[in-house]
Structure 1
Amino acid sequence: MNLDNVSIRKMNHADLETMARWLSTEAVLKFYGDVNSPFSLQQVEKKYGPRIDGDVLVVPFIVELNGAPIGFMQYYKIEKCEQQTFGYPANLDVYGIDQFIGVPSLFNKGLGTIMVKKFIVSIVETTDADLVILDTAISNPRAIRCYEKCGFSKMQKINNGRSWLMAMQTSSQTSANL
Structure 2
Amino acid sequence: MALPTVELRPLTRADFPLLCRWLAEPLVARWWAHDSSPEAVERDFGPSLDGEDVTALLVGEVDGRPVGLVQLYPIGAHPEYVEELAPVCEVPPGALSIDYLVGEPDARGRGVGAGLIAAAVARGFADHPGASDVLVPVAAGNVASWRALQRAGATWYAAGEMAPDNPADPRDHVVHRFTRPALL
TM-score by length of 2: 0.81
What is the CA RMSD across the aligned residues, in angstroms? 2.3
TM-superposed CA distance for 1:3, in Å, is 3.8
Amino acid at match of 2:122: V
Does 2:49 align with 1:39?
Answer: no
State the match for 1:100 in structure 2: 101
Unpaired runs of 5+ residues, structure 2, are 163-169
Distance verdict in 2 for CA 1:84–1:41, change over 3 Å: same
Report the equivalent of 1:176. none
Aligned positions of 1:79-158 closer than 5 A: 79=76, 82=82, 84-88=86-90, 92-127=93-128, 128-154=130-156, 155-158=158-161
**Aligned mates of 1:166, 1:94 — CA distance in 2:** 12
1:69-128 residue CA offsets vs partner (Å, 9 max, x unmatched):
1100011111286164444266x2111110010011211111011111111111111102
Q: 2: CA distance between counterparts of 1:89 and 1:28?
A: 27
2:13 counterpart residue number: 13
Give 5+ residue unaligned stretches, structure 1.
174-178
Residues 110-154 of structure 1: CA distance to partner in whole angstroms, max 9, x if unpaired? 101111111111111110211101111211111111111222222
- Percent identical pairs in the alignment equals 20
- Number of residues of Structure 1 aligned to a counterpart in Structure 2: 168
Q: Which runs of 4+ in 1 moved over 6 A?
A: none
Task: Normalising by structure 1, report the TM-score.
Answer: 0.84
CA spacing shift, 1:27–1:58, aligned 2, 3 Å: same
The separation in 2 between residues aligned to 1:171 and 1:68, in whole angstroms, is: 29
